[in-house]
Amino acid sequence: MNPIARQIITLAFIAGVAIAAPIALPTPAAGAQSACADLGGTVDASQICHAHTAGRGYEATFTFPVGYPDQQALTAYLTQRRQDFISFAEEKPPRDYRYVLDAKADAYHSGTPSSGTESLVFEEYSDSGGAHPVTGFYAFNYDLAKGAPTTFDTLFKPDTNPVEALDPIVQREMDKHWEGYGGPAHANTLGDKVYQDFAITDDAVIFFIGQGMWLPEVAGPQDVSVRRSELTSILA
C-alpha cells in the first residue's frame, strides 16, 4: 500500500498489549540520521527516546527505542504526524483540557542481527477527533538482509491472497475478544487495511488492529498473534 494512503487510513481510524515480549533494538551506527534528534528528543540510559512538544491547548509525546534501522522513514512519519496533530489542535477553539497525542513504540525482532527483521510498533492514543479518545497503531518493519522495508504486500508471496488466509484465523480471535458484548464478532469489512500494522517475530506475525477497525470502538484496540506455521504457504 502507498505509504501516504496508509497514513491517511491510520489517521482516519486513530482513532494492545503485544503478545510477544518486545526487545530493545541496537543503537544506530555513528553518523546515522537520528529521528530522536530531529524531533528534539532526549535519549535515556535504556536507549529510549522521549520527544515532547506542548503548546496552547495541546501536547504530543513520542516514546520509542532509538535503534530502528530506517531512521529516515521514522523521522518522516513522526515529523508529519506531529505537524498534522499540531495543525489540527491550533485550528480548534480553546477548551478546558488539552488535545493529546501519546505514541509509544515497542521493538520486535526475528532471525539474526544481520539477516533477520526489525519491527517497531507505535501504539497511538489520541483525542484529536471524534466523540472520545481512541487508540490506533502504526508499524515499521525492516528486512536487514535486503536493506529495505517490509510491507504487507512484500510480506507475502506474489499471486497469493493473504486476506483470504488471515481472515478465518483472526475472526476466531475476534470472536473471543467480543465475548461478553453479545454474539459473535462481525466479519472483516476493510480487507487488507486491517492488516497493515504488524510485527514479525521468530514464531509469529502479530497484527495490531486499531480501535473501531474490526470490532466496535467499545472493545478497544486489538492485537492478534498468528503463528508463522499457519502462514508457511504464503509468506515470502
Question: Can you name the CATH fold of 3-231?
Answer: Heat Shock Protein 90 (3.30.565)
Task: Indicate the average pLDDT of the chain.
Answer: 86
Q: According to the 3-state scheme, what is the secondary structure of 192-210? A: HHHHCCEEECCCEEEEEEC
pLDDT tens-digit readout, 93-121: 878 888 999 999 999 999 998 899 999 99
Residue 202 has pLDDT above 80, yes or no: yes
Query: Comparing C-alpha atoms, which of 228, 19, 234 is closest to residue 121?
Result: 19
- How much of the chain exceeds pLDDT 90, in percent? 71
Give this prediction's pTM. Answer: 0.83
Range list of H helices, the chain: 3-13, 35-38, 71-91, 152-155, 162-177
pLDDT (0 to 100) of residue 31: 38
pLDDT (0 to 100) of residue 20: 35
What is the pLDDT averaged over residues 170-183? 87
**Domain residues of the chain, as ranges?**
3-231
Q: How far apart (Å, rounded) are the C-alpha atoms in residues 165 and 81?
A: 32
pLDDT (0 to 100) of residue 3: 46
Query: Comparing C-alpha atoms, which of 140, 114, 116 is closest to residue 202?
Result: 116
Q: Hey, what's the cell of 125?
A: 492514543
pLDDT (0 to 100) of residue 35: 96
What is the pLDDT averaged over residues 117-132? 83
Give the residue carrying C-alpha cell 483540557: 97
Q: How confident is the model at residue 127 (pLDDT cuts 50, 70, 90)?
A: confident
Strand 134-143 to strand 148-149: parallel, antiparallel, or no bridges (unpaired)?
antiparallel
